[in-house]
Amino acid sequence: MDFSRFVVVLLFSCLILRIVSQSVIQNWPESRNSGNLDLISINRKIRRLDTLFCDSWRFTVETNDAGFWEKIPKRCLRFVEDYMTGDRYVSDSDVVTDDSLSFASTVEIAGDGKDIWVFDIDETLLSNVPYYQLYGFGSEFYNETTWDEWINLAEAPALPASLRLYRELRRLGFKVFLLTGRPEAQRNVTKKNLLYAGYRNWERLIFRGDSEEGKRAVVYKSEKRMEMEAEGYRIHGNSGDQWSDLLGSALAKRSFKLPNPVYYKVEIRAILILSPVTGRFREFCDSWRLTVETNNAGLWEKIPKRCLRLMQEYMTGERYMPDSDIFTEDSMSFASTVEDSMTLTTRCSLICSTTNSMDSGLHLAVAMLQVFLLSGRPEAQRNTTEKILLSVGYRNWEGLILRATSDEGKLAVVYKSEKRIEMEAEGYRIHGNPGDQWSDLLGFSMAKRSFKLPNPMYYIT
């Protein structure tokens, strides 16, 4: 039997490498290494208070690390309620609108009526917070009866940030397409509700037809976008609160993920009049971090000056480690579903007891058989890279791939895609791909599941 058919590949892009090497080795004298490694060491005790846990949980949900989930964790009910009804949700969605507009303003509108922006409706244009407030903020299962009653009221308010975006896009000359998972039968009430909330002059309002019932949201929405492209429309932007709004085919040039820690998928469930953003640094910077982690911000060069202290607090305080821990739990729970992986774990058993390296990465390496490390570092750093990997506890990787001279100057996303294509050509099946940069995860030959590690410090294209 072909050995490669049993292979489980894990691509490790190099949060670990970068953090350990750049921050520690290059910036600090050798003698201080161990002290600095304590910052991210296994020995470091984190108190997993509910707020902390729930904030980390929210991170994995917004980055899609969690994949499918059904209900918010019980202990996070209060957290999600505070998030949705307090200043954070308003602030987070405001920053998404700012990101969207800064992209939109760079688009040249041809004037032929074909430049469009696609919006989802629920939790994107309209907010159902009033409903969720009555029904447990995502802690209860979807109830069609109460949900339909709410929809038929047609009184969902606009998400203020989205109404601002919508109006500004219209002013810039975009045509707006609304693409919702709601059924055709709800067309009239939905139209009434959109008008009630202040939306006007959309180009098209698309509902799920009878023949599309039961299709996965990501398929249904991709097909509809493909039809738009076939009609000659250019999809510049796409705003949605669900990853199924944004992934698939006929993708927009830029997609914008709105926050939603209440539910996953297209089932819907609600706003009081939200208080205005206070503009305090903490909220702004937390929102900034979310847009960076979800790739809404696109390319960014430096942390905003006013967030420097908070990002320092994030990286060295009690937030970064739990965020990465939850990432590991998500990855492990996926890894355990991969056939054959559990029978093939013996080679890594040495690693488990080592300290002084990043917890998350270590646990992952233990679960998988074949691990490929794919780094943007140059070939010239092979020896130092191997040395630091071994010194912090990693063993038995299958391959360590570094940038050859011929790869210099390539965009990271191109270089990494090419390497993954080569692996697939050799017969490897790429199941998982953790990385702190979106360029680690996007492109071609993508893993079955990608896992985004937190990194609010820098962006690599």
Ligand X SMILES: *[C@@H]1O[C@H](CO)[C@@H](O)[C@H](O)[C@H]1NC(C)=O
Rounded Cα distance between 76 and 48, Å, is 12
Cβ-based nearer residue to ligand X, 379 or 418: 379
Nearest Cα neighbor of 361 from 335, 327, 333 is 327
Token pair of 337 as six digits: 């579903």
**Minimum gap (Å) between residue 393 Cβ and ligand X:** 20
Cβ-based nearer residue to ligand X, 149 or 424: 149
Cβ-based nearer residue to ligand X, 212 or 386: 386
Residues that bind ligand X (CB under 6 A): 143, 145-146, 185, 188, 380, 383
Nearest Cα neighbor of 383 from 14, 11, 21, 15 is 21
Strand partners, 122: 126
Cβ-based nearer residue to ligand X, 355 or 381: 381
**Minimum gap (Å) between residue 131 Cβ and ligand X:** 12
Nearest Cα neighbor of 267 from 404, 428, 143 is 143
Cβ-based nearer residue to ligand X, 97 or 190: 190
Cβ-based nearer residue to ligand X, 31 or 145: 145
Rounded Cα distance between 156 and 180, Å, is 15
404: burial class by Cβ within 10 Å (0-12, 13-18, 19+)? exposed
Rounded Cα distance between 262 and 36, Å, is 38
Element (H, E) at 117: strand 115-119
69: burial class by Cβ within 10 Å (0-12, 13-18, 19+)? middle
Nearest Cα neighbor of 63 from 414, 455, 458 is 455
Cβ-based nearer residue to ligand X, 133 or 146: 146
**Minimum gap (Å) between residue 381 Cβ and ligand X:** 8
**Minimum gap (Å) between residue 146 Cβ and ligand X:** 5
How far is the first Cα of the chain from the last one, in angstroms, to the nearest whole number? Answer: 40
**Minimum gap (Å) between residue 145 Cβ and ligand X:** 4
**Minimum gap (Å) between residue 202 Cβ and ligand X:** 17
**Minimum gap (Å) between residue 194 Cβ and ligand X:** 14
Rounded Cα distance between 329 and 125, Å, is 33
**Minimum gap (Å) between residue 453 Cβ and ligand X:** 28
What distances in angstroms separate CA 252 from CA 163, 271, 306, 373, one per listed residue?
Answer: 20, 29, 32, 31
Cβ-based nearer residue to ligand X, 188 or 337: 188
The phi, psi pair for 158, rounded to 5°, reads: -70, 145
203: burial class by Cβ within 10 Å (0-12, 13-18, 19+)? middle
CA angle 174, 180, 185 (to 5 degrees): 125
Cβ-based nearer residue to ligand X, 145 or 201: 145
**Minimum gap (Å) between residue 382 Cβ and ligand X:** 6
